[in-house]
Amino acid sequence: MGGSVIRKALIAGAMLATVVAIPHGSAARGQPTSPCGERFPAQDWVHVSESGGVSVYRAALDQVVAERFANTAMAVAADLRRDLGAFPASTLCVFGPDTALDATALEESGLHPPGARLHAAVFAEQALLFVDSQQVRLVEDAVAFGLSHIALWHLAAAQGEVGYPDPLSGAVAQWFVARMNGSLEQHHATMRLATFFNDPGGDADASEWFASRQEPIMAWNPEYQESPIGDFIADAVARNGAEILQTLDPGEWAVADGVWRAALREELLQGADESRDWVGGVLITAGVLVAAIGLTWLGRRQRRRKQVPMGEIAHVDGFFES
């Protein structure tokens, strides 16, 4: 009788110990903790796929929708690997509109506006990217931008540098985004006019592409991400090959800047400086004035919509100034 009671007590104690030892969340179901869960453990992160060097997880998001974003990540990773020579194993964490990540730590670090929803964040050293799917049309752009930021950080690290040059890194990222979403031609037309208005004489100095270095952590709102400055990278790569992206020489990039500006100016004027056809001159002048009005209106509209302190995405002195 006494032995039976003791055995029952031992069994009950073992069961209690087992219950206490079971961890909460995904691990409770036998799933390993993901990099997403290590950074934001309040969400239940479910593995979606792992291909092309990118592991994708989702939280409160449909599997089919998440797979679409995974395909985008895989395609962008392939472009980055081809053009940069390497791509680090990365993790993409996409979360649904009905959940939110706790951005308190980012807010306390001054990286995110207090009380605002966290839309996108990249932790470059850990090759970890979080993207909110609330605005579905912006997710793929954010994925391309974030993965580019990660790849450039690790490219610089391989050369013994802490961070890729800035704002050059933003311009490179914008180029990869434009290639993915098909806006290369539109951005080229915008920069053709912007360069002319900001440098009408064609004698401005090159932009300071090496003004600073990438930050290891960045949070931003993809709604205010797009910039046509990636056209500079498109021109530099077309003339010098993708190898220039691996070049951290300010002098070489300054030369590429000058060549790009000159080409844009020549393309816009199309020989108008030497033309005596007054009709053509009037048409060009009228077109320039209309474009100037349009750019001024667009600049004011963007300033009204801009959020702070999200920071500038590929801001380059001399462009888009009022």
pLDDT in tens, the chain (322 residues): 434 433 333 333 333 332 233 333 444 444 458 999 999 999 999 999 999 999 999 999 999 999 999 999 999 999 999 999 999 999 999 999 999 999 999 999 999 999 999 999 999 999 999 999 999 999 999 999 999 999 999 999 999 999 999 999 999 999 999 999 999 999 999 999 888 788 777 778 889 999 999 999 999 999 999 999 999 999 999 999 999 999 999 999 999 999 999 999 888 887 555 444 444 544 555 455 555 555 555 555 454 444 434 444 555 655 544 3
- Is 98 contained in some domain? yes
Max CA pair span of the chain: 116
Output the pLDDT for position 179: 96
- Is 59 contained in some domain? yes
* 300 vs 307: CA distance, rounded Å: 14
- Is 295 contained in some domain? yes
Range of the domain at 225: 37-202+215-305
- Is 182 contained in some domain? yes
Structure tokens at 69: 């974003």
Output the pLDDT for position 65: 96
- Is 145 contained in some domain? yes
- Is 31 contained in some domain? no
- Is 4 contained in some domain? no
Output the pLDDT for position 269: 83
Tell me how many domains the chain contains: 1
Output the pLDDT for position 17: 33
Q: Give the up-direction half-sphere exposure of residue 56: CA atoms within 13 A in the CB hemisphere.
A: 25
Query: Residues 175, 228: contact at Cβ < 8 Å?
Result: no
